[in-house]
Chain A
Amino acid sequence: MAAPTSELFSDYNSGGYYCEMFGAPAGRPPAHTEKIRKRLGRLKCATLKRRASATDRELFNLGITFTVYSDKNAIDRVLPFDVIPRIISAADWKTIESGCIQRVTAINKFIEDVYHEQKILKDGIVPAELVTGNPNYRREMHGIALPFGTYVTVAGIDLVRDTDGRFKVLEDNARTPSGVSYVVENRHLMQRAFPDLTEKIGIRQVSNYGMKLREALAELAPAGAKKPRIVLLSPGVFNSAYFEHVFLAREMGVPLVEGRDLVVEGGYVQMKTTGGLQQVDVIYRRIDDNFLDPAQFNPGSMLGVKGLFEVYAAGKVALANAIGTGVADDKALYAYMPRIIRYYLSEDAILDNVETHLCREPEGLAYTLAKMDELVVKPVGESGGYGVVVGPRATKAEIAEARARIEANPANYISQTMVGLSVSPTLVGNRIEPRHVDLRPYIITGRKSWVLPGGLTRVALRKGSLVVNSSQGGGTKDTWVLE
């Protein structure tokens, strides 16, 4: 642990983990955080606390909240925000950026292949049943050609940083990754609350995300749509991510519609306006495949648009993300991602995977069961951190329980080597303490891919916790990518 720069950090000890502010446990604090460390060091903890509670209040007043519905009450909760930023050097960002673009490119090629010739399955690189047996595999998508082969318009790739300081991919999100609104709003919040901290640091801007997304969506519009009409399709105000839908609709200047506002007529998707029906060309949808079209998928869906799929298959409306991208963000498929990248791009993966064992394979199962107390076990189909068992932190009973679940349905589980997630100084009570963080960069792909220079840093606010999900006591930090 390097010598602390000031009083604010005087007690700070990253506890053997890689620290986003102070660097490797044994090394010197990195040069790129020096200016910020000095400025932060001049602040008293009380000042930091006062400004932090002002940002909390502001979040609540602005309604930057997610909504928790109990029996009869809707409670607006603020996603906890930590005011000490997470800083990424220009060099690290270059790796992240190229690594993410490489990964998304391969994912798009993979999905296109899966819904056309299935070469990768025929060549035995990925087991066929892993794809065709996946509940998110959509047979209906076969033979449907999409502009530029772009299936995943918006991707969120979850990265973690190991004790050695290397970034590794933990998870790919290729369906409807959320959280980008916090990236932009957190920055606005920091600029208002800490103008003295953000000034002249050379932080890359994140505010053009909406413009970039709109551009990409327009590129994907069906041929012939000169001024494509774009809408954002949301499940509605009861969705916990509704704030984000509002945010994105506003940033892109497009209507925030619900299924009930749309109708299929005359072979096109139309929206109900005050002046009558009007054609829609591109739908950025924030609802799952299953709910998109009751005629094609879940017949009970009240959120979708009847007949949408037929219009889509005829190429008369674009959807982002495309239908059926869930085949690529499965946790079991994740293990094959380095091979998928090599197969389509003839390159090695720029960003490593975390070592993963598939319980669907006999060796993987045997290894997992033998080392339960060292590994992190995850169910394949869950998200949000649910059902994850962290071996070294689990009780004997929890491990026994997990073992029984795996043995009953091995194909539903993977296990991963425990990563010593990096930490970031975080305001906790009246102290600055290390808390584990991850990073989710957002990649937008229309004709080409672009990575938002920033990302969502999620922080596990509970001491020692490695689970950063907001449903499990996680918060966020502003993420500064330096020029």
Chain B
Amino acid sequence: MSSLLARFAENSFWIARYVERAENLARIIDITETFARDEHGESDWTPVLRLHHDEESFNARYRKVDAANIARFYIIDEQNPNSIRYSIRAARENARSIRHLISLETWTQLNVFYNRIARLTRRNLKLSDLSRVCGQIKEGCQLHYGIATGTLYRDQIWSFYRLGTFIELCDQTTRLVDIKYHSLLPRAPDVGTAIDVAQWNALLRSASAYHGYRRVYPQEMTPATVAGFILLDPRFARSIPHCVREIRQSVMGLLGNDELKHLSFAPKALDELGELAGWDIDKVIAFGLHEYLDRVQLKLIELGEAIADTFFLASYSTS
């Protein structure tokens, strides 16, 4: 085993984060199309903007909050640092820096994938095509993980890649559920209605959680069981406990390297995440779903900072 440049560790970490981010955005856009319709068939895309704190930058360049503009803004807008195109380009540029350390297939797929996304225009984003385009993007991201998982050499590069994957995935799961959090508020007008059930159903599907959910809850579908499943079921691959377990394993794997044995890395944020991952959904609702999701996101940020301080020599490279 050999040492790894701090910058390369950072590159590997961010390839995973950016691809994961793009995939989740594709999932969100895909369900918002369903979500956005209330019983009158009117669309409301503002929650997606709120979720990413993008109201201001969106309004600065687009007039109307509608499906066409949202799709443009989040899929192909190069100037939006939260867009899929931006994320995949960032993933590719990070991969470019460690191209000599990753498999040729990993690089080639990302390169081809980016070139394909870069060719998308407004004409490809018609409402009738949106779901298909989102599906293709999701598939491109999944293909990336498959290739990376199948071919990356299991050294530090891999550990940082996994750390990036699960920190981002955990963060994105909280965001996905956050979109629907208002349904868990008491006296929300839609709770329990047909449209509400359809939306929770869509949420499950968008997180690829439906088949797992049905095995655990063959009959029920309430906001609490759905949110509880997605956030807290340790067997569900996108849940908080599952992500935290993977993060812990990656940290252990890292510290098992001879070159890193002398480091002490036991961030408080990771312990706190572990504690939050152990909550049940009743406790979460009593605490406030939105507040809970916020806290998880905050701890993930702190964990990211701790990783940067220790391994990416953040203080060192800025000096």
Taking Cβ atoms with an 8 Å cutoff, the residues of A that contact B are: 60-63, 237, 242, 246-247, 249-250, 255-258, 260-261, 271-276, 278
Contact = CB atoms under 8 A, between A and B. Distances in A.
Contacts of B312: 274
B266 interface: no
B5 A275 contact: no
A261 B7 contact: yes
Contacts of B100: 246-247, 249-250, 256
A54 B263 CA distance: 50
Given A61-B108, A62-B104, A272 B99 contact: no
A255 B97 CA distance: 10
Contacts of B259: 273-275
Nearest to A242: B96
A225 to B, nearest CB: 15
Name which of B99, B100, B112, B263 has the most chain A CB atoms within 10 A of its CB: B100
A78 B87 CA distance: 24
B3 A275 contact: yes
Contacts of B134: none
Contact of A260 (B9, B96, B108, B317): B317
Interface of B: 3-9, 93, 96-101, 104, 107-108, 111-112, 115, 156, 257, 259-260, 262-263, 311-313, 316-317
Which 3 A-B pairs rank lowest in CB-CB distance, beginning with the nearest?
A250-B100, A249-B100, A275-B259
Say what secondary structure dominates the interface of chain A: mixed
A274 B317 contact: no
Nearest to A262: B5
Contact of A275 (B96, B263, B317): B263
Nearest to A231: B5
Contact of A257 (B5, B115, B311): B5
B97 A237 contact: yes
Contacts, number: 69
Nearest to A271: B5
A261 B3 contact: no
B102 to A, nearest CB: 9
B6 A274 contact: yes
Given A63-B107, A274-B311, A275-B260, A261 B5 contact: yes
Contacts of A249: 100
Nearest to B104: A62
A307 B37 CA distance: 64
A386 B159 CA distance: 48
B8 to A, nearest CB: 7
B9 A61 contact: no
Given A61-B111, A63-B108, A246-B99, A275 B262 contact: yes
Nearest to A257: B5
13 contacts: A61-B112, A61-B115, A237-B97, A246-B100, A250-B99, A250-B101, A257-B5, A261-B5, A272-B316, A274-B4, A274-B9, A275-B262, A275-B263
B254 to A, nearest CB: 8
B104 A272 contact: no
Contacts of B112: 61
Contacts of A246: 96, 99-100
A278 B311 CA distance: 14
Given A237-B96, A274-B259, A255 B104 contact: no
A278 B7 contact: no
A46 to B, nearest CB: 26
B5 A63 contact: no
Contact of B108 (A62, A256, A271, A273): A62
A63 B111 CA distance: 7
Given A261-B6, A272-B5, 19 more contacts: A61-B111, A62-B104, A62-B108, A62-B111, A246-B96, A250-B100, A255-B8, A256-B97, A257-B5, A260-B317, A261-B7, A273-B6, A274-B4, A274-B5, A274-B9, A274-B259, A274-B313, A275-B257, A278-B3
